[in-house]
């Protein structure tokens, strides 16, 4: 049974304002859609240097879709045709993926007001408007009880207070329902402050997540470390940043654009993240948790 039709709670905060301001840039980098993602991807082969922006964007999109496919594989038996809650749905790429590839009925939760209409429009274009319902809502205030076969959080759980969110998630799940998470987890404590400051998150360790999930009555089924396959994704996004800055300054020599990109905050943080994934400072993992029958 889908969540009851009541007005969910939404409070404007720093994160929603941050993504509201970034919407046009996100659409330019990851669009045109209809399946638009802005999360990490899995890259096994990086294109050769000098790849065109179009090639880079296509590779980035394919890598992001590969992440969702790998999360589905980790689940084992995704609830085809079931009720799915997509927490922090972004521009709806994952919600459309579950609806199109698994015939799911998806409640797509966002805290960014303008994204509700964008997700709805993308769903209509993709032919799944009847199966994707975007709502403006805080993740802790999603209405309903025992309403969902699966709750999916792709790079959104890192924004949430885990203990409270896992308790609410367990209440939203049907008996036997699952939680599928793809996210970055903290390996070394000194990386928390710069990571949270730049990405506006509340990053935590795997131990913290699993302890909070266990306390809420959720059982771990799968933990897959895919860090090595995410590293290349950040090489691709760094190249895209170079192209974007070159477009902003068309008279600038490409080598100068590259040097300028390397000095920018975005590039520094992309490189910091890439290095941390390689040396164990961060782990990118897929988690599958289940509410017992």
Residues of the chain with pLDDT under 50: 1-6, 255, 258-263
Residue 133: φ, ψ to 5°: -120, 100
First to last CA, the chain: 17
Q: In whole angstroms, give the CA distance from residue 134 to residue 118.
A: 9
pLDDT tens-digit profile of 104-124? 999 999 999 999 999 999 999
Q: Give me the pLDDT at residue 244, please.
A: 76
Q: In whole angstroms, give the CA distance from residue 154 to residue 283.
A: 14
Tokens of 207: 């131990």
Residue 184: φ, ψ to 5°: -90, 140
pTM (two decimals): 0.90
Cβ contact 107:2 at 8 Å: yes
Q: Give me the pLDDT at residue 147, please.
A: 95
| Residues facing residue 48 across a β-bridge | none
Look-up of token digits 């290095």: 275
Q: In whole angstroms, give the CA distance from residue 141 to residue 138.
A: 5
pLDDT tens-digit profile of 128-168? 999 999 999 999 999 999 999 999 999 999 999 999 999 99
Say which residues have a Cβ less than 8 Å from residue 18's Cβ, sequence separation at least 6: 200
Query: Of 218, 195, 207, which Cα lies nearest the Cα of 281?
Result: 195
Distances (CA, A) of 177 to 162, 221, 236, 291: 18, 12, 35, 5
Q: What size, in residues, is the chain?
A: 293
The DSSP secondary structure of 45-63, one letter per residue, reads SPPPTT--HHHHHHHHHHH
Q: Give me the pLDDT at residue 1, please.
A: 44
Cβ contact 108:8 at 8 Å: no
3-state secondary structure of 201: coil
Q: In whole angstroms, give the CA distance from residue 203 to residue 216.
A: 19
Tokens of 283: 């782990």
Query: Of 119, 70, 75, 109, which Cα lies nearest the Cα of 89?
Result: 109
Cα torsion 20, 271, 260, 59 to 10°: value is: -70
Task: State the helix-helix crossing angle for 53-75 and 227-248, rounded to 10 degrees.
Answer: 150
Q: In whole angstroms, give the CA distance from residue 63 to residue 80.
A: 23
């Amino acid at each position: 049974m889908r969540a009851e039709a009541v007005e969910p709670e939404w409070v404007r905060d720093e994160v929603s304002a941050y993504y509201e301001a970034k919407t046009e840039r996100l659409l330019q980098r990851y669009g045109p859609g209809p399946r638009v993602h802005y999360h990490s991807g899995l890259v096994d082969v990086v294109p050769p240097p000098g790849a065109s922006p179009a090639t880079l964007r296509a590779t980035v999109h394919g890598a992001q879709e590969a992440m969702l496919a790998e999360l589905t594989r980790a689940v084992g038996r995704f609830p085809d045709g079931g009720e799915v809650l997509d927490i922090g749905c972004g521009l709806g790429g994952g919600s459309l993926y579950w609806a199109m590839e698994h015939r799911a009925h998806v409640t797509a939760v966002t805290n960014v007001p303008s994204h509700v209409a964008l997700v709805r429009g993308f769903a209509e274009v993709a032919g799944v408007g009847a199966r994707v319902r975007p709502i403006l809502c805080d993740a802790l205030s999603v209405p309903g009880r025992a309403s969902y076969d699966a709750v999916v959080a792709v790079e959104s759980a890192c924004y949430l207070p885990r203990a409270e969110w896992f308790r609410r998630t367990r209440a939203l799940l049907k008996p036997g329902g699952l939680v599928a998470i793809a996210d970055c987890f903290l390996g070394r404590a000194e990386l928390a402050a710069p990571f949270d400051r730049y990405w506006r998150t509340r990053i935590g360790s795997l131990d913290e997540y699993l302890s909070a999930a266990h306390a809420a009555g959720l059982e771990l089924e799968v933990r897959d470390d895919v860090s090595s396959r995410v590293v290349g994704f950040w090489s691709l996004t760094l190249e895209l940043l170079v192209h974007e800055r070159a477009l902003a300054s068309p008279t600038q020599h490409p080598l100068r654009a590259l040097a300028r990109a390397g000095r920018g905050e975005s590039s520094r943080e992309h490189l910091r993240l890439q290095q941390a994934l390689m040396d164990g400072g961060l782990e990118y993992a897929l988690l599958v948790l289940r509410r017992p029958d």
